[in-house]
Each structure stands twice: as structure tokens, then as C-alpha cells.
Amino acid sequence: MLKIENIEVCYGFIKAIKGVSFEVEKGEIIALIGSNGAGKTTILHTITGLISPKSGTITFEGKDLTKTPAHKILGMGMAHVPEGRRIFQELTVFENLKLGAYILRDKKQIEKNLEYVYEHFPRLKERKNQLAGTLSGGEQQMLAMGRALMSNPKIILMDEPSMGLSPILVSEIFQIIKEVSQDGTTVLLVEQNAKKALTIADRAYVLETGNITLSGKAKDLLADDRIKKAYLGE
């Protein structure tokens, strides 16, 4: 479904991503784990057209994304939940969600998507008329995820959805990610919380200083001593 082949990304003279390749198959949850500064967010920004790679190719459902503008990538069925949520704080919850569906013209489809979001995030329905900036951190993360789901994506890219949340909210967010996947949306998940990510993922890739150093089934990586030592604190 999504294929990244030998991409390199540079910031000036610094090579941030060094020939990375990986694949995401339809229906999978793929985790991309690694420490701060490993290049995880850069990879997501490159896939969604916010950064141009120096070399390599990115294909989505057989179409080359490498030179496709970011706004057109959304229309192809790819949504991005950015690090730090990036919600519109001065707008209401409802207005934020409606903006997530701006590419859709079918009002019935928009209503259907809205009900889907409210079903998975009942707190957003309770607070639909509340200004987004007054929500708690966990509720803002739910809103960012809900807004991305409003475009009816085939694949959703999530960047550090657990960042800054309490353990109870982290578990809730990961449960929702599982449910979204079970409903048929493919997920590419960037996470520092390696244990949680590997618990719900099908497969995973480990990124270190711009290189993929390990990959495999998530359950195998969860049991790997190198992963335990480096990322699970064991």
C-alpha cells in the first residue's frame, strides 16, 4: 500500500535520513520506534509532502508521491496526526472536526464520518461546542485524531499520540488506535513509547540516527534483548 524506497533527507549539510526503505501493507499497524532525534517525524513529514527528499521514492497505492503537493496527498486517502496535536485552539471542537472533512463534498458522508468520530470519542461529542484550546491534553489528542479521521482516510499517520499523557489516557488512545485499525484504516505509528507501540502493532521498524537498524514482527521485537535494553528499560 505504502512503499518507501531508499529515501534521503537533508537539512543543509546534515543528512537526517540516510537511505531508509520500508513498506506498509493494507490493514496493518506499523510502528516506527526510536529515540528523540532519530528522524521519525522527518520521515512522516516526507511521506506527507511537507518535506522533499533529496533522493529515493515514495509510492502510495502505486502512485508516486515524491513530488506530489501535501494537499493533494490528503485527497488520495492519507491523513496525518502531527506531533503536538496542532489543533485550531480558537475554534470549537465541532469546527475543528468539520475542517478535517474540507476535501469532502458529500454532506451525508461528512455526517457519517462525524458520527463515527463521536462513537469512538464520546468526549468530543459532549464538548462539541467547547473551544478546542480549553480541552485537556488527552482531549486535544483525541480531537487531532478525530479531525484526521473526518477525511475518511485509507491510511492514517500518527506522530507521538501518547506524548505528555497520563498512563490511563495513553491506554485509552492506544485502544482507539486498535479499533480504528480493526475498522479497516491502515496505521503508521511513530512512537517513543516503544512498549505500547509494539503491543498493538503487527510489524515494526527501529530507527536510529536516520537509519533503520532492526525490523520484524512486533511481538518478536518486543522479546528482543536489544530492544528491551535500549527502549523498554529492561
Q: Which of 120, 152, 184 is the last residue of a domain?
A: 152
pLDDT attached to residue 69? 86
For residues 148 and 218, membership in a common domain is answered with no
Domain for residue 97, yes or no?
yes
Range of the domain at 25: 2-77+153-231
Q: Are 203 and 216 in contact (CB under 8 A)?
A: yes
Looking at the whole model, is its pTM more than 0.85?
A: yes
For residues 143 and 158, membership in a common domain is answered with no
> Quick one: residue 5, left, alpha or beta (phi over 0 = left, psi -120 to 50 = alpha)?
beta
pLDDT attached to residue 16? 92
pLDDT attached to residue 233? 66
Considering its fold, how many domains does the chain have in total? 2
CA torsion through residues 8, 9, 11, 14, sign: negative
pLDDT attached to residue 193? 87
pLDDT attached to residue 104? 87
Instruction: Using CB atoms within 10 Å of the CB of residue 183, give its burial: 0 to 12 exposed, 13 to 18 middle, 19+ buried.
Output: exposed
Q: Which of 152, 176, 202 is the last residue of a domain?
A: 152
CATH number at residue 11: 3.40.50.300
CA torsion through residues 66, 70, 72, 77, sign: positive
Domain for residue 93, yes or no?
yes
What cell was used for 167? 498512563
Domain for residue 126, yes or no?
yes
For residues 60 and 128, membership in a common domain is answered with no
pLDDT attached to residue 234? 56
Q: Which residues, other chains included, contact 6 with Cβ-Cβ below 8 Å and sequence gap of 6+?
A: 19, 20, 21, 55, 56, 57
For residues 68 and 160, membership in a common domain is answered with yes
For the stretch 147-177, what's the b/e string if a residue is b when 16 or more beta carbons lie within 10 angstroms of its beta carbon?
Answer: bbbbbbbbbbbbbbbbeebeeebbebbbebb
**pLDDT (tens digit, 9 = 90+) per residue, 54-113?**
999 999 999 999 888 888 898 899 999 988 778 999 999 999 999 999 888 899 999 999
For residues 106 and 218, membership in a common domain is answered with no
Domain for residue 193, yes or no?
yes
Domain for residue 82, yes or no?
no
For residues 131 and 172, membership in a common domain is answered with no
Kindly give the parts of the chain with pLDDT less than 50: none
For residues 69 and 133, membership in a common domain is answered with no
